[in-house]
Amino acid sequence: MTNPVLLIVVPLLLAFLSVALKNNKKQLLFIAAVFNVVGVFIIENGSYVIGGFRAPYGINLNLDAYSHLAVLVINILFLLIITMSNEKTKEFSTVLLVALAGLNGMLLTGDLFNLFVFLEIVSITGYILSTESKKYKYSFNYLILGTIGSGLYLFGLIILYAIFGSLNMADISFKMLSYDTGKLVVPIFLMFIGLAVEAKLIPFNGWVRGVYGNANSLIGSLFASVYAGTILFVFGRVFGQVLVLSEYLVAVFVAIGVITLIAGEVAAFSKNKIREILLFSSIAQSGLVALLFVTGLIFPTVLQLLNNIITKAVMFTIAGKISDDADTDEADKLKGIFANNKIIGVSFTVSALSLIGLPLFYGFYSKINLLLGLFSKINYFVAAFILLATIIEGAYFIRLLVKLWTPGEEGKESNIKFVTDRKVEFDFNKKVIAFMLSLIILLAGISPSLVKTNLFAMNKLLNEENPSYMFELKGGM
Amino acid sequence: MDFNALILFMVFSAVLSYLVSKSNIKLGAYSTILFSLISLIILFLGRNNIGNEFSLLYMNFRVTAIGWYFSLIMILIYSMTAFFNPYWMEKILYPSSYNFLYLFSLAATVGLFFAADLITLFIFWEVVVWSSTFIVPLGKSRKAAVVYFTISSIGSMATLFAIMFVYSKSGTFDINEAFKFLASEPLTATFVFFTFITAGLTKIGIFPFHIWLPLAHGNAPHTFSPVLSGGLVKMGAFIAYLSVGILPAYKAFSTSMTIMGIPFQIYLLMVLGAISIVVGTLMAIKQDDVKKLIAYSSVANGGYILIGILMMDQVTFAGSLMHIFNHAIASAAAFLTIAAIAHRTKTTKISELGGMIHKMPVSYVVYLISIISLAGIPPMGGFVSKWLIVQGLASKGLIFIAFAAFFGSIGSFLYVFRPLAGLFLGQLAPKYENIKPSTLVMKIPMVILASMSVFFGIFPKYLLETIGEIQTSIGIDPIMINGDTITTINGVLNTNKVAAIFGFGFVISLMIFLVLPKSRKVGLMDTYTSAEFIYTPELYHYANSFYAPFERLYKNHPSVEKFLGKFAVKTEELGILVNSLFFSHKPSVTVLWVMAIATLIFLGGVDI
């Protein structure tokens, strides 16, 4: 059995090395990313004890269907993103290596306190990465909110520890089953706030606009795709599988999710800058994913989460690159920018259409699945809200795409002479990877059975109503 | 040839056409003609496929008589319009993508009409929507595409909700099975009926969803407007048919309150149809842009089609199915003539044109025939179908709906006449002295479509026989025809006699025209008024303030556009409010939220 701890340790080791080997930082980052992608295919499911003490006394890593899928996707996306924005990684190689270790740690750990530690590590790398834009006020904002968030998470966790005397996820989960969950509202809600700050849920997401809205192609796609994906996977783990929520809390969390979804879409609708549209769409998607996890739907939620992070990786990279080169990301000033960058334009379009959930794209498959899930749980109102959000989402994405593809004044036929004179040059890496990702989205949409059968982890999640994690591995106890 | 092969062929032809266009644009455009014609022939000859079932990937298909009929109309319109594509290749920004999307959306419509389950139906519905959405902004308006997509997705999301709801209750997506349980649950059936049909209403352009038609039809590339108006709108009629024909609406609503003998749920939609007729007609009268004028007339005609389909009976339903065909060919032909004119003159505004009959006589005749058919004047096909619809309504005593139908017919004389007088007749503006007539390739589809309008006006039996078979296949009495005599409860119509009378009248007036002395032609600028020469030809234009006194009657009408405009403003303002509440750049605001919520939990959470 290959120990998944390598996914955490190797990047961390290389991070230390990269301080010494300053000239080869970039290569070390690349090596670590490739190592992790290869490693994901080698590691085997199971519980791994770290430090010699058996769970629940010691720390353990849990590799089950859910976390295996998560590390698989996150590591692949990480590799693709740093390859796409290869030219930007040098400055932040060490930080990115630490981030990679932290992200894998968050996904793998079976211990709530350990999760806090990794969350802090990842947050700190996030603060540092956000300074790239030189908008220090926004980084500071992020720092303050992130710290308060993780502080509250820790606070909630301490209360749980005092009640149950354990930090092991599985252990707490079992003990909660026989406990009056109505009495746990405070600690759970505090932990929820802690994760909600990072997961961008309303009203805890004041930092997002400044940080995402000014990020370049590398940072933006990392945040929107890898960071957001990880935190949402963890959110699903903690609130969908570990903690037993009372009905009251489920109702409150669903309400927060719905508000985030609708408010995010409405805010995106009122924006004109590409990155702002995308970031508010990310917020809305976070709300959607969070509320679906809380309602207990695992499989369709994971599908939707994948849809979100894959498409956002493509779109944020493109939007970041456009704003790097053209000095603006206002859609009105970039009319017809895709006329000269057709491959990139097609990738962006496919991603956007998939995110809206239109048929023939992967997003449709996840949308149908999540609707089926909600209808089977008689959650008609939530489903109606999701469809309402889809209408708004469709409107602003189509508006954006139409602007970027077909320049022209109202009343005059679209013509090449209206194309903006701002130039954007996309390099080979971006073109190939963005196009490849959009092909995958298309293929997965045309033949979703590919997704269903080929992703080994998914079948398991699909077949079992209850998440496999707790009851299969028992947290290594 | 099996129809699964047909659908595959159509999808691959779209890809192939894209590849061909990449190497040679003109050749790619001609390939759209070729491929759509081949599809038309395969479909026409493959009528024995009716009843077949097949699957592609995860999609299931069933060939039904009505689906075959709809597909035939759709491919006919697409293939005829395709003849215009070669002339627009230089003008369109993305010619290869245009050709691809053109054929791809066609393939999707055929998939839609043959769908055997609701998911397949929805997939193809949305594919048609997004693929056509990307063609619209190549024309004159970017906003049109957004409005088109948004209104379409309001409809399709409502329908998706209905589909999911039905599935969660019945456990199947099969179109024939899924709705069955509704027959005994009137309340649920009412809900499903209204949500499911919404996509259809948005697509047909029923009030208040009609606003996208003038925008999208009026501003789409000239070669795509015929398809939008003649073809894609008919998808909505198909959904409307599913909502009353497959969804057992009349059975489910048999216990509910009735208005004039019709369940109120259905009557309500018929009223919307009637409003569309009135609104479409009145708005069409006002238009200066011919394309917008025909688009509004499509709104009015959509009203007729919806009302007829909702009746689901012997006469009105047949009339509606026939009107779907007649309207498709007539409105496509009308749009094509406008495209032919725009090809030479670069404009579609009545006030900028005039006297085109001297330069484009064929376009004139085609336009005349189509617009007469659209207005429902004999001896064209449109007359027969509108006659059937009005007959059916009158025989059921639906007086208000029938009144709207009459109003629409009378009003259509007004809007038909405006472009006829302003665009084709009257004086030729000096700048168009030297324009050439439309090309031969353009004339082919125009003449075919116009002769179809005439042919099916005089010999409707060839169409009505097919419609009768469709009616039998879905379990209602077929329309009674005997030769060219159509029998309804209130009376009989012999179209041959009608045509003969009109032919006779035509010959008489031709004779008078030939016998009387020729009128003297005067150039447009060969005049002066109040001892002044006038140099602006526009002021002399026939269409200048054409119906001013009539338009003044409803000048201050309320409008859905204004209402939606306000709604959009409010949404944006809500967005700004959300921004300032939650997404401020000040950390203190978020900290305040966190603390407020944390405090609330501490205060109240423990006891819950």
CA distance A356 to B150: 12
Would you say residue B86 lies in a domain? Answer: no
- Which tokens hold the place of A188? 């759970």
Nearest CB neighbour to B149, from listed A140, A371, A394:
A394
B596, B465: one domain: no
Inspect the interface and report whether the beta carbons of B123 and A359 lie closer than 8 Å.
yes
User: How high is the mean pLDDT of chain A?
Assistant: 85
B466, B564: one domain: no
- Chain A nearest-CA distance from B135, in A, is 10
Q: Which tens digits make up the pLDDT trace of B4-40?
A: 888 889 999 999 999 998 888 888 889 989 999 999 9
- Chain B nearest-CA distance from A202, in A, is 7
Q: Which tens digits make up the pLDDT trace of A258-284?
A: 999 998 998 888 888 899 999 999 999
CA distance B281 to B277: 6
Would you say residue B139 lies in a domain? Answer: no
- Chain B nearest-CA distance from A357, in A, is 10
Inspect the interface and report whether the beta carbons of B127 and A413 lie closer than 8 Å.
no
pLDDT at A476 over 70: no
Inspect the interface and report whether the beta carbons of B582 and A206 lie closer than 8 Å.
yes
* CA atoms within a 13 Å half-sphere pointing along the CA-CB vector of A98: 19
Would you say residue B477 lies in a domain? Answer: yes
- Please give the pLDDT value at position A261: 92
B400, B251: one domain: yes
User: Which residues of chain B make contact with A140, given a CB cutoff of 8 A?
Assistant: 587
Task: Render B310-321 in DSSP notation, one character per residue.
Answer: HH-SSHHHHHHH
pLDDT at B412 over 70: yes
Inspect the interface and report whether the beta carbons of A402 and B57 lie closer than 8 Å.
no
Nearest CB neighbour to B601, from listed A186, A360, A446:
A186
- Amino acid making up residue B99: N
B198, B293: one domain: yes
Cis, peptide link before residue B208, omega less than 30° from 0: yes
Nearest CB neighbour to A406, from listed B122, B137, B150:
B137
Q: Which of B82, B53, B580, B30 is nearest to B339 (CA)?
A: B82
Q: Which tens digits make up the pLDDT trace of B163-198?
A: 999 988 888 888 888 888 888 888 888 999 999 999
* Range in A18-27, A310-319, A343-352 the model is least confident about: A18-27
Q: Provide mean pLDDT across the span A138-164.
A: 90
- Chain B nearest-CA distance from A203, in A, is 6
Would you say residue B335 lies in a domain? Answer: yes
Q: Which of A106, A151, A146, A117 is nearest to A129 (CA)?
A: A146
| B2 vs B448, more confident | B448
Backbone angles phi, psi at B89, to 5 degrees: -60, -40
Inspect the interface and report whether the beta carbons of B590 and A204 lie closer than 8 Å.
yes
Query: What whole-number percentage of chain B has pLDDT above 70?
Result: 95
User: Looking up tokens 């992608």, which residue turns up?
Assistant: A37
* Optimal mutation site among B18, B133, B142, B603, interface A, most CBs of chain A within 10 A: B142
Q: Provide mean pLDDT across the span B95-119.
A: 90
Query: Residue B532 is inside which H or E element, if any?
Result: strand B532-533
SS3 category, A50 = strand
Provide the sign of the torsion angle of the four alpha carbons B1, B2, B6, B12, taken in this order: negative
B460, B577: one domain: no
Would you say residue B83 lies in a domain? Answer: no
Provide the sign of the torsion angle of the four alpha carbons B325, B331, B335, B340, taken in this order: positive
| Angle, CA B598 vertex, CA B592 and CA B600 arms, to 5° | 100
CA distance B72 to A123: 60
Q: What is the 3-state secondary structure (H, E, C) of B239-296?
A: HHHHHHHHCCHHHHHHHCCEECCEEHHHHHHHHHHHHHHHHHHHHHHHCCEHHHHHHH
Nearest CB neighbour to B574, from listed A203, A266, A401:
A266
A465 pLDDT band, cuts 50/70/90, is: very low
Q: Which tens digits make up the pLDDT trace of B290-349?
A: 888 888 988 998 998 999 898 888 888 888 999 999 999 998 998 888 888 888 887 777
B468, B564: one domain: no
pLDDT at B462 over 60: yes
Q: Which tens digits make up the pLDDT trace of A373-409?
A: 888 888 889 999 999 999 999 999 999 999 889 888 8
User: Which residues of chain B make contact with A353, given a CB cutoff of 8 A?
Assistant: 130
Nearest CB neighbour to B583, from listed A137, A206, A412:
A206
A419 pLDDT band, cuts 50/70/90, is: confident
Q: Residue B172: closest CA among chain A residues belongs to which residue?
A: A372
| A475 vs B460, more confident | B460
User: Which residues of chain A make contact with B580, given a CB cutoff of 8 A?
Assistant: none
Q: Provide mean pLDDT across the span A33-55.
A: 83
Nearest CB neighbour to B154, from listed A197, A339, A391:
A391
- Which tokens hold the place of B7? 């659908």
Where among B482, B503, B537 does a domain terminate?
B482
pLDDT at B608 over 60: no
Inspect the interface and report whether the beta carbons of B161 and A387 lie closer than 8 Å.
yes
- B261-278 exposure pattern, b = at least 16 Cβ within 10 A, e = fewer: ebbebbbebbbbbbbbbb
pLDDT at B157 over 90: yes
* Contacts for A82 with CB less than 8 Å, ≥ 6 apart: A29, A30, A33, A89, A96, A218
Would you say residue B409 lies in a domain? Answer: yes
Task: Render A432-463 in DSSP notation, one character per residue.
Answer: HHHHHHHHHHHHHHH-THHHHHHSHHHHHHHH
Nearest CB neighbour to A248, from listed B58, B161, B608:
B608
Would you say residue B114 lies in a domain? Answer: no
CA distance B347 to A212: 45
- Chain A nearest-CA distance from B569, in A, is 9
ipTM given for this complex: 0.91
Decide: B479 and B315 in contact? Cβ < 8 Å. yes
Task: Render B143-158 in DSSP notation, one character per residue.
Answer: HHHHHHHHHHHHHHHH
Terminal Cα distance for chain A, rounded: 18
Query: What whole-number percentage of chain A has pLDDT above 70?
Result: 94
Inspect the interface and report whether the beta carbons of B601 and A190 lie closer than 8 Å.
yes
Inspect the interface and report whether the beta carbons of B579 and A270 lie closer than 8 Å.
yes
Query: Residue A189 is inside which H or E element, if any?
Result: helix A185-199
Residue A416 CB: number of other CB atoms within 10 A? 12
Inspect the interface and report whether the beta carbons of A263 and B582 lie closer than 8 Å.
yes
- Chain A nearest-CA distance from B593, in A, is 6
Decide: A352 and A290 in contact? Cβ < 8 Å. no
pLDDT at A456 over 60: no
CA distance B483 to B123: 42
Q: Which of B74, B79, B77 is nearest to B30 (CA)?
A: B79
Q: Which tens digits make up the pLDDT trace of A58-85?
A: 788 888 878 888 898 999 999 999 998 8
Decide: A432 and A80 in contact? Cβ < 8 Å. no
pTM for this predicted structure? 0.91
- Which tokens hold the place of A298? 């695992």
Would you say residue B361 lies in a domain? Answer: yes
Nearest CB neighbour to A148, from listed B141, B158, B591:
B591
Nearest CB neighbour to B145, from listed A185, A359, A398:
A398
- Please give the pLDDT value at position A471: 46
CA distance B280 to B306: 14
Which of A32-46, A94-108, B354-368 has the largest mean confidence? A94-108
B566, B478: one domain: no
User: Which residues of chain A make contact with B594, given a CB cutoff of 8 A?
Assistant: 145, 148-149, 152, 193, 197, 203-204
Decide: A444 and A451 in contact? Cβ < 8 Å. yes
Domain count, chain B: 2
Strands B480-482 and B262-263: unpaired
* Strands in A22-113 per DSSP E: 46-50, 59-63
User: Which residues of chain B make contact with A446, given a CB cutoff of 8 A?
Assistant: 57
Strands B59-62 and B485-487: unpaired
Where among B482, B499, B520 does a domain terminate?
B482
Where among B463, B482, B501 does a domain terminate?
B482
User: Which residues of chain B make contact with A183, given a CB cutoff of 8 A?
Assistant: 606
| B331 alpha carbon, distance to own chain's centre | 8
User: Which residues of chain B make contact with A391, given a CB cutoff of 8 A?
Assistant: 150, 153-154, 157
Inspect the interface and report whether the beta carbons of B575 and A270 lie closer than 8 Å.
yes
Decide: A397 and B164 in contact? Cβ < 8 Å. no
* Optimal mutation site among B93, B143, B147, interface A, most CBs of chain A within 10 A: B93
User: Looking up tokens 């809600």, which residue turns up?
Assistant: A189
What's the domain range around B421? 166-482
pLDDT at A119 over 80: yes
Decide: B147 and B154 in contact? Cβ < 8 Å. no
Q: Residue A148: closest CA among chain B residues belongs to which residue?
A: B591
User: Which residues of chain B make contact with A382, given a CB cutoff of 8 A?
Assistant: none
* Optimal mutation site among A406, A410, A412, interface B, most CBs of chain B within 10 A: A406
Distances (CA, A) of B380 to A111, B443, B510: 79, 20, 19
B178, B318: one domain: yes
- Please give the pLDDT value at position A477: 53
Q: Which tens digits make up the pLDDT trace of B482-494?
A: 777 777 777 778 8
B287, B403: one domain: yes
Residue B462 CB burial class (10 angstroms; 0-12, 13-18, ≥19): exposed
Count of pairs with CB atoms under 8 A, one residue in A, one in B = 185
